[in-house]
Amino acid sequence: MQLTPPINHPAMALLDAEGCNDLPLGYLTLTETGLIITANATAADLLKTDQSALIDKPFEQWIATEDSALFQQRYQALLEQQQPQSFELRMTCTHRSPLMVKLSMKLRFLAPRAAPRVQVFFEKLSYDPILKQELALAWRQIELANQAKSHFLGVMNQEIRTPLNVILGYSELLAEQGEELQLPKHIVRDLAAIQAAGRHLAELLNNILDLSKMEANKLNICLEPLELKSLLYGVYQLNKEQADSKQQHFIYECVGELPDYIISDRIRLTQILTNLVHNAIKFTPQHKTIELRVERLDNHLQFTVADQGIGIAPEHQTQIFDAFKQVDMSATRYFGGTGLGLALVKKLVELLDGTLSLTSKLDQGSVFTIRLPLLLSELPDFSLA
Ligand code: ADP
């Protein structure tokens, strides 16, 4: 309810309950002992009763038991110190429904030596401070649970990663020695399957760990001068073999004038672009084209990963950025994956103060665009030398 005039408006001092029915505040006058003498219509409305039912009743009976001590203390202070009192408390309406109010009380002396009257104004609060406290507590508990979850994930990650590395290491070793050991073809094939599954598991672990670190605000961005074209070429090289294996046409292009060195996070930027290129290759049929492009737009760098793949229907275009969301959520889906890649990409781009957007048409392809603020570096990155 929007209140005019406000509860502490000076005009309030002049009001009497009679003639105040239109006032958007509950207004009562009480005897010194707390009996209601007059009540306006709003007070009756707020307490879900009739004006006449309020008269001659102790005001205290409308105060919720939990706040009755608070009310008595403030009432005492009003009478003894003759200081207006204003505070929030819980009232109880007819039929025991709760009402949270902001309540103001002041003393009025109608004539010298006459017993004072107590003027009470109250307005309904649209929030419940107790609920607010409980919410804050619940938030704290969620935070603690989240920290515990992140800790658990970190420990589990380590516990899984150690034996996984052993599996990956030995299967690679065996595969390398395959010819020398004259292993039968089906064993070589099985070893490749073990390796592929192991790598998939390792990728899943990395993504889960990154996402949980990010949730716990523990994923730090490490800015450094880096050579832009070399970074892009690195991403191209990293994914070229996979694109070749699908006989896709993989193009990378540095468009127009580009700065030699920029300041960014080498690992995270590579991870973002690799994730997008990896998806582009995965969701694009053989012989089609994948493009990785960078260009400068005023104070921004724009990276584009475009494909001629299966495309994404409009209704899925926002969902796919949520963790574990895939367009095809069926157990028998054709494309592998965890549904974590894009969630991670989105969060990493945000950490770099950038934006990520998508345009896509079913069966025609998708374009993922990243814009990052351009931080220029004069310094060559000697670590590349
Ligand atoms: P994953 O690829 O591991 O399933 P992502 O989070 O990277 O997880 O992607 C989520 C989903 O978004 C994918 O499962 C797929 O349905 C859709 N998607 C992502 N990139 C593309 C793309 N280039 N073309 C078509 N669909 C895509």
Q: Give, for all 385 residues of the chain, the pLDDT tens digit.
A: 333 333 443 334 444 555 677 778 999 999 999 999 999 999 999 999 999 999 999 999 999 999 999 999 999 999 999 899 999 999 998 877 888 899 999 998 877 777 889 999 999 987 666 777 788 888 888 888 877 877 787 787 788 888 888 988 988 888 888 778 888 888 888 888 888 888 878 877 888 878 777 776 777 788 989 999 999 999 999 899 899 999 999 999 999 999 999 999 998 999 999 999 999 999 999 999 999 999 999 899 999 999 999 999 999 998 888 876 677 666 556 666 667 889 889 989 999 999 999 999 999 999 999 999 998 876 554 444 4
Alpha carbon nearest to ligand 1 atom 21, residue: 279
User: Is omega for the bond preceding 116 within 30 degrees of 0, making it cis?
Assistant: no
Residue 327 CA: which ligand 1 atom is closest? 16
Contact 59, 17 (CB under 8 A): no
Residue 321 CA: which ligand 1 atom is closest? 6
Specify the DSSP class assigned to residue 63. Answer: B
Specify the DSSP class assigned to residue 371. Answer: E
pLDDT at 17: 56
Alpha carbon nearest to ligand 1 atom 14, residue: 326
Encode burial over 169-196: b for 16+ CB neighbours within 10 A, e otherwise: eebeebbeebeeeebeeeeeeebeebbe
Alpha carbon nearest to ligand 1 atom 23, residue: 280
pLDDT at 251: 96
Contact 102, 7 (CB under 8 A): yes
Q: What distance in Å separates the CA atoms of residue 117 and residue 111, rounded to the nearest whole number?
A: 10
Residue with tokens 């204003």: 86
Strands (E), the chain: 26-30, 36-39, 85-92, 98-108, 117-124, 224-227, 249-255, 261-264, 289-297, 300-307, 355-361, 365-373
Pocket test for ligand 1, best of 276, 326, 328, 330 (most atoms within 8 A of CB): 326
Q: How far is the CA of 278 from the centre of ligand 1 (A)?
A: 9
pTM above 0.75, yes or no: no
How many C-beta atoms surround the C-beta of residue 157 within 10 A? Answer: 16
Q: How far is the CA of 288 from the centre of ligand 1 (A)?
A: 17
Four-residue CA torsion sign, 39, 45, 50, 53 = negative
Orientation angle between helical segments 266-282 and 228-245, nearest 10 degrees = 30
In this structure, the residues whose C-beta lies within 6 A of any atom of ligand 1 are 279-280, 283, 307, 309-310, 312, 320, 326-327, 337-343, 366
How many C-beta atoms surround the C-beta of residue 364 within 10 A? Answer: 11
Q: Which residues lie closer than 8 Å to 90 by C-beta, 6 or more apart? A: 63, 64, 66, 67, 98, 99, 100, 101, 130
pLDDT at 372: 96
Alpha carbon nearest to ligand 1 atom 19, residue: 279
For residue 164, the cross-strand partners are: none
Alpha carbon nearest to ligand 1 atom 2, residue: 337
Contact 301, 353 (CB under 8 A): no
pLDDT at 333: 62
Residue 307 CA: which ligand 1 atom is closest? 23
Q: Which residues lie closer than 8 Å to 118 by C-beta, 6 or more apart? A: 29, 30, 31, 32, 34, 75, 78, 105, 106, 107, 108
Sheet-wide strand order for 289-297: 249-255, 289-297, 300-307, 365-373, 355-361
Contact 84, 78 (CB under 8 A): yes
> Beta 117-124 vs 98-108: how paired, if at all?
antiparallel
